[in-house]
Structure 1
Amino acid sequence: MSFKVTVRPSGQTFEVGPDESILEAALRSGEVIPYSCRNGSCTSCAGQVVEGRVAYPRGVLPPGLSAREAEAGRALLCQARACSDLVLDVSSERAPGEPVVKTLPARVVALHRLAPDVMRLYLKLPATEDFVWRAGQYIDILLRDGRRRAFSIANRPGADEFLELHVRLVPGGEFTTQVFEQMRERAILRLQGPFGRFFLREASPRPWLLMAGGTGFAPLKAMLEQALQGGLNRAVHLYWGARDRAGLYLNELVEGWADTVPGLRYTPVLSEADAGWRGRTGLVHAALLADHPQLAGYDVYMSGPPPMIEAARAGFTAHGLPAEQLFFDSFDFASDVRAAP
């Protein structure tokens, strides 16, 4: 059974099915709702339920929503399911300077394998379109059946005429398997974006700690390129965690930055290091905390898989990091495999 959703102040209406989130249905209908992590942590997609009822998978509130907020009608639309017709208050107005979300075709101009399971994809947009984004934001690749796959933009705005994506091969993943086994140069994709609230707050005077897990390096690469292009004016320490050396798929690039840019430090961390590895081992957030046990004086930016994000949030908070100084992007892989819930 489907339900009707009315969004204020836009007045747009759309139908939401019983097995999809309100955000998924909104995006399918063309309604632009702010969102970022899509796993209920960042609260970018929050809305107010004016009329109707919502519920959450397995009856569990998402991590970014308290019981008191839920009782007051606040909902995180990336997780909420409609239980009736709904009227929602959602702020879809762009802040000053916020990039415009566009839906565009893009041509694949190059594919470079950076690791056995990581492909660098270069996309060229139409020359007639001015696509603007903030370093750290992401795009959605629009699949033919209405599904979406999110990928961070890995190059800074204005660096070149292409969008750079880092695509990790997901076992059983229909789209990522296509990228690795079938996609060729000149293929045409459709994308929508930019999305996300993960970008540098350069007005802050504090030093930055950046932490990536796997291909979570992609948005941090764009951020670092942006900071380096403008002249780095503060201390920055990047931590990059991976399972093995192949997971540090652009290690030499970052080492080159650290060797030549004053104030920039780089610490790679492997969780399953081989006998020849002489660097740090273990969990990447533990390495960061060992070096920086007092975090109140830093701004922290992190991106990577949800388990890393959740462990780091708890650890960083315990070490004095205020919530307003923590910015993150959680890479929660969407399943391409059609399976029962």
Structure 2
Amino acid sequence: MSVLRCQLTSIKALTQHVYRVELSPSAPLVFHAGQYLQVVMGENDKRPFSIASMPAEHSRIELHIGAEPGNTYAGEVMQTLQQQGEITIEAPLGVAHYRAESQRPLILLAGGTGFSYTWSILQQHLASTDSRPVVLYWGARELADLYMHEQLLQLQRLHENFSYRPVLESPPSDWQGSPGLVHHALLGDFKAQLAQFDVYVAGRFEMVRVVRDEFTQHGLPIEQLYGDALSFI
């Protein structure tokens, strides 16, 4: 793990409350797809965020930060970036990173901005020569919350081994994807075949806990379920 000073390169609003933050670290960051960093706000105040960029982009760090009103945890980080133009980070962290050596196909399961974790892994997999199938389930409340929806549809058209399956809790009347909860949609498709996959999950702790409990009940070996939240629940 390294302690690095990072300069703010850009902030772009992806939705009303989600921002793409690009940072330039003081030294190249070597990490695995799916790892995270901690923003050092104080000696005893370190706040984790998944690294959304690919390991090959070691001089550029991308974060997806959801800073809804009342979310001081993320809001204070955004305020520091906007006011000071730089932050200190600790990275890389996490053991739930991409397993390139595995022979099993991948399922990526994301809730909300947990997508940033799966986005790094997806990019790494599609940029490699690995032809294993990869399926991404991304759940959100409304279509506007799927802030890379069109880009993912385009990637699906370009890569035969990639399937994108968006899920909305409050879908519009013309919605072509699945309605309801994202892990229910996944179970509806793969409940009987879970043991054949490596499953990577990121989202709220409550969601990850339910995924762990229900997926292992349906035959997924716990060692084939990856998510750093699992270390805390």
| Structures share fold, TM-score greater than 0.5 | yes
Partner of 1:328: 227
- Structure 2 stretches of 5 or more lacking a match? none
Q: Partner amino acid for 2:85?
A: A
CA distance 1:205–1:315, change in 2 (3 Å): same
Shift of 1:186: 6.9
User: In the aligned structure 2, how far is the partner of 1:174 from the partner of 1:310?
Assistant: 24
Aligned partner (choices 188, 201, 219) of residue 290 of structure 1? 188
Judge conservation of contact 1:104–1:192 (CA < 8 Å) in 2: yes
The residue number in structure 2 matching 1:113 is 13
Q: Deviations over 1:182-238 (max 9, x none)?
A: 743870111111100011112211111111000111011111111111123211111
Q: Give the TM-score normalised by structure 2.
A: 0.91
Shift of 1:181: 6.0
2:52 is aligned with 1:154? yes
Identity of aligned residues (%): 36
Q: 1:279 aligns with which of 165, 170, 177?
A: 177
Alignment check: 8 A CA contact 2:23 2:62 kept: yes
Q: State how many pairs are aligned.
A: 230
- In the TM superposition, what whole-angstrom CA distance separates every residue of 1:146-181 from its partner, at most 9, and x where no partner exists? 311110000111136210000011442335324556
Match of 2:141 among 243, 249, 271: 243
In our comparison, the structure showing a higher alpha carbon Rg is 1
The one of 208, 232, 235 aligned to 2:130: 232
Residue 274 (structure 1) shift: 2.7
2:66·2:74 contact (CA, 8 Å) conserved in 1?
Answer: yes
Distance apart, 1:263 and its partner CA: 1.1
- Structure number with higher helix proportion: 2
RMSD: 2.0
- Taking the aligned partners of 1:139 and 1:191, their CA distance within structure 2 comes to 6
Which residue identity lines up with residue 211 of structure 2 in the other structure?
Answer: A
What TM-score results when the alignment is normalised by the length of structure 1? Answer: 0.64
Query: Aligned letter for 1:300?
Result: V
Matches within 5 A, 1:137-216: 137-144=35-42, 146-159=44-57, 161-174=59-72, 176-178=74-76, 183-184=81-82, 187-216=85-114
How far apart, CA to CA, are the structure 2 residues paired with 1:159 and 1:255?
A: 23
The runs of at least 4 consecutive aligned structure 1 residues that moved more than 2 Å come to 170-186, 274-278, 329-332
CA 203–331 in structure 1, closer or farther in 2 if over 3 Å, else same: closer
Distance 1:137 1:178 in 2: 22
Q: Which has the higher contact order (CA 8 A, sep 6+)?
A: 2
Change (3 A) 1:170 1:329: farther
Unaligned ranges ≥5, structure 1? 1-100, 333-341
Encode CA deviations 1:277-320: one digit per residue, 9 max, x unaligned: 23210111110111112211111111111121111112211221
Q: Residues 105 and 125 of structure 1 are in contact (CA less than 8 Å); yes or no, is this contact kept in structure 2?
A: yes
CA contact (8 A) 2:32 2:55 kept: yes
